[in-house]
Every structure is written in structure tokens, then in C-alpha cells.
Amino acid sequence: MAMAGDVKKRIERLRREIRRHDHLYYVLSAPEIDDRQYDALFAELKDLEAAHPELVTADSPTQRVSGRPLDVFSTVRHAVPMLSIDNTYSAEELRAFDERVRRQLDTPEYDYVVELKIDGLAVSLRYEHGRLVSGATRGDGEVGDDVTANIRTIKAIPLSLLDGDAVPAVLEVRGEVYMPTRSFVELNRMRTEAGESPFANPRNAAAGSLKLLDARITATRNLAFFAYATGEVSQPLARDHYRMLERLRAMGLPVNPHIQRAKNIDEVIEICLAWGPKRFELDYQTDGMVVKINRCDQRDILGATGRAPRWCIAYKFPAERAETVVESIAVQVGKSGALTPVANLAPVSLSGTTVKRASLHNFDEMRRLDVRVGDTVVIEKAGEIIPQVVEVKTERRPPGTKPFEVPKKCPVCDSEVVKDETGVCVRCPNPQCSGQLKERLRYFAGRGQMDIERLGASLIEQLVDRGLVQGFADLYRLRKEDLAALERMGEKSAQNVLDGIEDSKTRPLWRFLAALGIRHVGGQSAQVLAEHFGSLAALREASREELEAIDQIGPVMAESIYGYFREPRHRAVVDDLLAAGVQPQTEAARSRAGAFSDKTVVVTGSLENFTRQQAQQAIKDAGGKASSSVSKKTDFVVAGAEPGSKLDKARELGVTVIDERQFMEMLSGRAN
Ligand code: IVH
């Protein structure tokens, strides 16, 4: 039994390590360890804290998500108001701004900092003695909402600042909470799939997520943050903005890496114009650039109007919209039968890509816009990613068009459609519908799920159309000759496809769960479930209450999971997959597999918890090779009591020697 002091030290060390890895991953995008190793650290900390609740502190990485939803947000008055920024739309306007600055400063000796204008929502984070004490939205600039519980769930925001840099007693950090584009697309996909209305763009999604009363939901939304200013500070951080940002970065706060200094307005303009097309390469949305005077004393001279500072100006990129004509309207069947209207467009170039199709989301939205075949429409990329129709030029509508009728039958299998509970969504109720099956298979094989290489949409199409695959498990029963008979498929590629499928048999449990396509369950919730239950068997038998009690699993999701596993048809799908040889890997099995995989291990002396045979079996189960003699090729020697000459030999050859406790830790995946 470890001493209390040891436990405390271990807990502190784990917290430091986890914070460091959070920083490496979420702020610097340069992780040093993989998810499995991270999870092991986190699990150890959680276990220790559960056993020693008196040692839990508010800034522990385990305490990001609070338990209970709020009834209402309280409000916070900002000590330093959160101002807005004036906009410009052209190089000329930027020059005019520069001239005003020069006149007021009465010197040409000033420089600029040019930043991306992150399209999210402004927040103010208050750190006292390096600890995050509150987080608030901008609100009207004077008074905002206290969203501390939600802010704490954002992993890029440190709960305590790194101490390397002297942190002022009071430090208010201002910046933008945003949703990375990829997370936005994934969230909307899930929402549409679940019959909920999608967010119009990542900014709305970020704002909606930050203003939820239940922080457990916010925690699933993958929000991120960039710091770009300070509010109240007990001691100024630097004499200029650029160095101030460097100090924030040194404290562990995420600061955007693309911030540039510019000597004069020509350089500013050059930077702004260059980012116009380049911004589409980023994984977050920017709607322009922010141009700031660098020196703090010069900012003071310039001051502010009531609304915005005079030392700062935004340059807004031109809106990315285009006009085109609707050539036809198609209806797609989703993986759970939802029918979605899609507009096929005359190809048009928009934000760097050629757009030929645009989602109309659902039939309600389509009726609202009254989109008809032949219409001239304005399209926009929602968050510059998914093109959507935002406006119909009714004045240019050709004569004789008719409103698009909501289909009464599934376009693929001809079944009578049903209206979803929400009334917005129209569904094909036929579980055998081949349109649905194709979508389910595509999702199953997709990168976020079973990740089956080379099993793309066109191959799935053929496999279903030829009746070779009628369910997930059929994939695992495909034979080479089945595949080789398909279009554009030689022996070699058939084998590659089979290898990819075979490979997917041992994916982690969470991927398997995500791949089943249970409504409301995406990759993140699947990870939560896999971690909580540890095995498919346990999850299958979980009660509603048990599911609801899990942090981050809301009642709707709990019901959906519970319902899924009560349905004989779904249980058969899962059983069939297991029978076909799919073996979802649980965390424990995976980490064990990692511990000794491809390692040669020799056991010497007697162990307390294993017979020699059991120890050898454990090594094999963990992917290693148990050997009886020590050589240069030996990776580990496990030394028990009275180890004898093998231990001497190991020392002589410089082979790593571990004791029984370390051996057990490695087997349980807890070693670090
Ligand atoms: S500085 C008074 N820097 O843009 C200046 N703001 O349109 C303080 N924003 O409310 C803000 N990126 O939410 C600054 N790099 C950046 C920014 C930025 C986005 C937002 C911020 C502000 C809004 C004004």
C-alpha cells in the first residue's frame, strides 16, 4: 500500500504530465504520445482521485466537465469593456486608416501586427494567481454571460497557466472561441441525421455550444480557442502587442501561429491580400484580418471611440457567394432512411472549388426558399465548406416552373415514406432499402469508423447491386473471386480490398460502436462508451439509467443506445459481425497488446502472482514472445525471487530488467 504522500506526489506528477500533453496536443499541435498512452495517464489519475477524493482540486484535468446543468447564466460586468472593431473592405480604406493613425501619432515611427480575424465569439477569461476563475461572453461589451462551466470544457484553454513565466496576480485573457471546420461539418452531419436543424456556420455552432446550460454537451462539441488580447491585468505583460502575445503563448495559452509584424501599411496590405485565397487551407473560419498598432504607448495616444479602438481595424474578405442555375433536384436517402433534397447546379466556381451540387438540408427549408428546377440561385459555402442555396432570384424565374413536391415514395426502393416525429424529416421506412444500405456501408467503412481502406462508394455500389453484400457482416465473407469479377478489379486489387477488410476486424471497440450507425452516437460518444463499459457485452446489457448516468451521454443518446440494443434486428447485426470474425478491441486488450508487442521477454526466478506458464501466456497475450534464454535479442527480463544466472547475463548484455510490479503495470497498460 502506497503512503498518502506518495499518492499526492503521483497525482501532482500525473496532472503536470497531462497538462503538458494537453498543451502539446491542443495548443502546439505537436503531440509526443499517442492516445493510448494519454488515456492511460488520464485513467490512472482518475482512479487515484476516486480513491482519494480529498486530493481533487478544481484545476485537475479530470475536473473540466461539471456535473449539473445550470438553470440560467449569471451575468458578469467586464472590468475593461470589450470593444468592437471597425471594418474596411479594400486596400484604399486600409490606407485611409493608416493616414488617420499617422496624423494622430504625428510620427511615421510605428509598426503593425496583422492577425487572422477568427470567426467565432469573443470571450474573456479571468486568471487569478494563474488559475482560471471565470469565463464570460462578450455580451454587449459591458456585461456578458458567465459561461465558466462551459469554458472549462475547452481543452485548449489551460485551467492553470504554466508557471515558467511570471504570471500576474490578475490576468484577463481575451480571445475567440471557435469550432474547427471539421468538427462543424461532423456536428451538422449528426444533427441532420438525427432530424435536428443544422447550424448555419461554425460561428453559430460555436456560439450555440458555448451558450448551452449543460456543460456536458458543450464538452462534446470540440470547441477551440485563440487568445489575442488582454483585459484587466495587475501588471502589464509587455510594452508591445507582439511580445505580449509571446508571453501569453509562454504561459500555455493558444495564440494563433499566423500572426505577423508589418513595418508599414504596404506590408499590411500585402499580408491581407495574400490571406484571401490562403485562408481556405485553414481548419477554422476567418472572415478577415485584424490590423493592430503594435506599441502600447501609441495605442494609448490613439485611444478609442465609444464603440471601437482607433488603433485597430478589420479588413473583411469579399463575401464568397456565386450565382448559378438549378438544373435538377434529386432526393438522396441517408443511412437511417432520411430523405434529403439536393440541388444539381450548373457548375460554378466558389472559394477555390467548382460547385455542382448544394444541399437543401430538408424539405421544410426547401419549401421556405421555394427552390424550383430552372431557378437562378445564390449559393454560399456554409462556413465556406458545404455549399448551400441561400437565396432564390424569383424575379428571374423562367415561366412554367412548378414547386418541388415532397416525394411520397422512396426514390430508391419505392416504399411509401413516413414523416419523422419532428415533422421536418421525411423517411424511407424500409430497413432493406438498398439506398440506405449503401449509405450505412459507406459510413461503416468510413475513416472515422472502421476505416476500411479501398472500400469506397463505387465498390460498395457494385457489391450491393450484385447482391454480394446485404449487411455489414457480408463484407467479412467476401471471397477473392467475388471481387475479381467486378468492374475495374484485378486479382491484385481484389486482394488489397480483402486485406483492408481483414485488417478492420481488430479495430478498437469505439470505432466498432461508431460504425454501427446508432442514432446520435458519433466518434466522440463512442469513445466515452467504450471507455466506460470496457466491453461490447457490458454495453449491450446496460440499462437506461446506467447509460444516462454517464457524463457526456444525454438522455436522448442514452435512449437511442438502449433502444438499439433492445431491437432483435440490431442484436442480430452485431452477433453476425462477431460471428464473421470481427473482434472489437477493448482498451485493456489494446494497451496490453502494445506493451510487449513484438518484444522478446524472458522470465527468471519465481513470481508471486504468476506461475511460469501463466507469465509466458500473459506475454503472448500481450503480443510478445516468451523465451527461456537471455541473448542480445532479448528486450526484457522479468526478474522474480532468486533469479540466478539469467539475471547476471541480462545485466552483462545491458538488457532491460523489470520486476514483477513493473511487469504487471506494463501488462495492464499503466506503465509510462
Ligand atoms: S482584437 C478591441 N483580434 O472580432 C479589439 N479581435 O469584429 C479587441 N476577433 O469582438 C479584439 N479575431 O470577437 C481581435 N485576432 C483578433 C480577432 C478578433 C476575431 C473578433 C472579436 C471582436 C470582433 C470584432
Domains, the chain, ordered by start: 2-63 (1.10.287.610), 87-316 (3.30.470.30), 321-407 (2.40.50.140), 434-579 (1.10.150.20), 600-668 (3.40.50.10190)
Binned at pLDDT 50, 70 and 90, residue 611 comes out as confident
Backbone angles phi, psi at 245, to 5 degrees: -65, -40
Residue 117 near ligand 1, beta carbon < 6 Å: yes
CA 177/CA 196 separation, integer angstroms: 23
Ligand 1 atom nearest 116 alpha carbon = 15
Residue 156 near ligand 1, beta carbon < 6 Å: no
Note whether 496 and 503 are within 8 A (CB): no
Asked whether the predicted pLDDT for residue 418 surpasses 80, the reply is: yes
- Segment 215-224 shows an average pLDDT of 91
Give the lowest-confidence range in 78-92, 308-322, 512-526, 607-621: 607-621
Return the H-helix or E-strand segment holding 472: helix 472-475
Q: Whose CA is nearest to atom 14 of ligand 1?
A: 228
Residue 229 near ligand 1, beta carbon < 6 Å: yes
Asked whether the predicted pLDDT for residue 111 surpasses 80, the reply is: yes
Residue 228 near ligand 1, beta carbon < 6 Å: yes
Note whether 491 and 480 are within 8 A (CB): yes
Residue 382 near ligand 1, beta carbon < 6 Å: no
Which among 9, 117, 356, 381 is annotated as catalytic? 117
Which of 228, 268, 275 is the best mutation target for the ligand 1 pocket, counting ligand atoms within 8 Å of the beta carbon and taking the most?
228
For the chain, what is the mean pLDDT?
A: 89
- % of the chain residues with pLDDT over 90: 59
Note whether 205 and 179 are within 8 A (CB): yes
- CA 189 to centroid of ligand 1, rounded, Å: 29
Asked whether the predicted pLDDT for residue 295 surpasses 90, the reply is: yes
Q: Helix or strand or coil: residue 636?
A: strand
In the residue annotation, 263 being an active-site residue is answered as: no
- CA 104 to centroid of ligand 1, rounded, Å: 23
Q: Give the pLDDT confidence score for residue 201 in this predicted structure.
A: 83
Ligand 1 atom nearest 256 alpha carbon = 15
Higher per-residue pLDDT: 215 or 4: 215
Binned at pLDDT 50, 70 and 90, residue 672 comes out as very low
Q: Which residues 6+ apart lie within 8 Å of 639 measured at CB?
A: 604, 605, 647, 650, 657, 658, 659
Note whether 146 and 76 are within 8 A (CB): yes
Residue 226 near ligand 1, beta carbon < 6 Å: no
Q: Whose CA is nearest to atom 17 of ligand 1?
A: 117
- CA 103 to centroid of ligand 1, rounded, Å: 24
First-to-last C-alpha distance (Å) of the chain: 20
Binned at pLDDT 50, 70 and 90, residue 360 comes out as confident
Q: Give the pLDDT confidence score for residue 385 in this predicted structure.
A: 64
- CA 84 to centroid of ligand 1, rounded, Å: 7
Binned at pLDDT 50, 70 and 90, residue 352 comes out as low
Q: Give the pLDDT confidence score for residue 67 in this predicted structure.
A: 65
Interval 4-42: pLDDT, tens: 789 999 999 999 999 999 999 888 888 899 888 898 999
